Amino acid sequence: MSENIAFSPSRRKLLQALGAIGVMPLAMPKNCEARSRGLLATRGVAQGIVKSKVCPGVVVGVGQATEEPQFVSEGSLSFDSKERVDKNTLWRIYSMTKPITGMAAMLLIAEGKLTLDQPVSDFFSAFSSMQVLVDPKSGTETKPARNPITVRHLMTHTSGIGSAIPQTPSVGGPLADRYVKLGLRNGVFQANGQPDMDGAVTSLREFAERLATVPLETEPGTRWRYSLGLDLLGAIIEVVSGRPFDIFLKEAFFDPLGMRSTWFRVPEHEKRRLVDNYATANGMSRSIDTGVNSLFLKRPTYPSGGGGLVSSARDYDRFLMMLVRGGTLDGATVMPPSAIALGTSNLLPEGTDMSGYIYPSSGDGFGAGGRLVMSGPHKGAFGWLGAAGTLGMVNCGRQLRLVGMLNCMG
């Protein structure tokens, strides 16, 4: 159920363009005419996506400082529906879950319950003697890892852990099939109470313990590699907080921020707000998960901190607005400003090899579960994408935020 598809170059280009256009109206906040032109351009992009039948609906939200967001909404919940999308429509946000998980860890760091460079083996002893592939390109021979995996490594995809995305070497890596065989993919429980995949892990603790049996692809702290690290970070948050990971997020973020439409499992009575998810191939879109019969209506085998959430444009903007405002929103303080500043800074280990980065040669950094733009007109922007075409970015220095939602894989 969690994200199982790599970002194609065309998808990245589309989302980068949508992001740039979405921020444009806020670049000159005192110029109402410029803002109106920018929002009109954003609407044009959204209309173009819907008209081209890439997906049936698009919602973009932009906001600045203490202002409420402005939303651009085009299209419907599905190609067969007349129900229009809006700020409260539900979307599978997949990897946009990662910055939320990263900031949850930052909160625990600020509370002194966790440290950035603390070894993972402090929480799961099975990680105390990891093996690493001698050469990931030429076999499965291993050697003892020189460095321990740390919390920092999990946040920044530099742990050496890979991803359970088979047949996509640029993301999944040589051990992807082994992750799948060990049940290290987020699934759902069926009506009979059994997982939908034989041998699937059914808790975050079990996920961590099985993950520790797989060799690392690279030495911890040396190379950026898209990974299951944020799922493992969710398991650590569960151990440190003493609460189930999903409950911790609800109590720490979702409830105090009024994020009433963000779940790992969509309640049955809310299913008519959930869009259909599509996949494209050869220029055609086909439905792969309908809203009213979605997998996200079922209990997940474990709450994936790397890609398991459903949310709305309005809700995700609440999370970003909290970051912009230094951890406080509508009188509720959920994080200290220092934790946000650290989480939106460059946390990459010094000398990290970025040749495998999703944005190659970009010169970007990486923060607590999200990309950090280090130069250019959007310097300071922090956030991440979702595989089905979602985007969430915030620039705390310029007090800008952007959410873009559509649901179409590939």
> Reduced to 3 states, what is the DSSP secondary structure of residue 256?
coil
Alpha carbons 39 and 114: distance in angstroms, whole number: 42
Sign of torsion, CA 251 252 257 260?
negative
Cβ atoms of residues 258 and 250 within 8 Å: no
- Tell me, what's the pLDDT at 267? 98
CA dist 276 and 294 (Å) reads: 8
CB of 383 within 8 A of CB of 393?
yes
What are the backbone angles phi and psi of residue 395, rounded to the nearest 5°? Answer: -125, 100
CB-CB neighbours of 125 under 10 Å: 11
The domains of the chain are located at: 72-374
pLDDT tens for the 410 residues of the chain, in order: 544 333 344 444 445 445 544 444 444 455 667 777 878 888 888 899 899 888 999 999 999 888 899 999 999 999 999 999 999 999 999 999 999 999 999 999 999 999 999 999 999 999 999 999 999 888 889 999 999 999 999 999 999 999 988 766 667 788 888 999 999 988 999 999 999 988 999 999 999 999 999 999 999 999 999 999 999 999 999 999 999 999 999 999 999 999 999 999 999 999 999 999 999 887 788 999 999 999 999 999 999 999 999 999 999 999 999 999 999 999 999 999 999 999 999 999 999 999 888 876 677 999 999 999 999 888 999 999 999 999 999 999 999 999 999 999 97
Q: How far is residue 278 from each of residues 10, 263, 322, measured CA to CA in Å?
A: 16, 20, 31
For the CA atoms of 366, 370, 374, 376, the dihedral, rounded to the nearest 10 degrees, stands at 150
Q: How far apart are CA 282 and CA 122, in angstroms?
A: 48
| pLDDT for residue 356 | 86
Q: Which two tokens stand for residue 183?
A: 């049940």
| Separation CA 349–CA 161 (nearest Å) | 15
Query: Which one, of 11, 34, 14, lies nearest residue 24 by Cα?
Result: 34
| CATH T-level topology, domain 72-374 | Beta-lactamase (3.40.710)
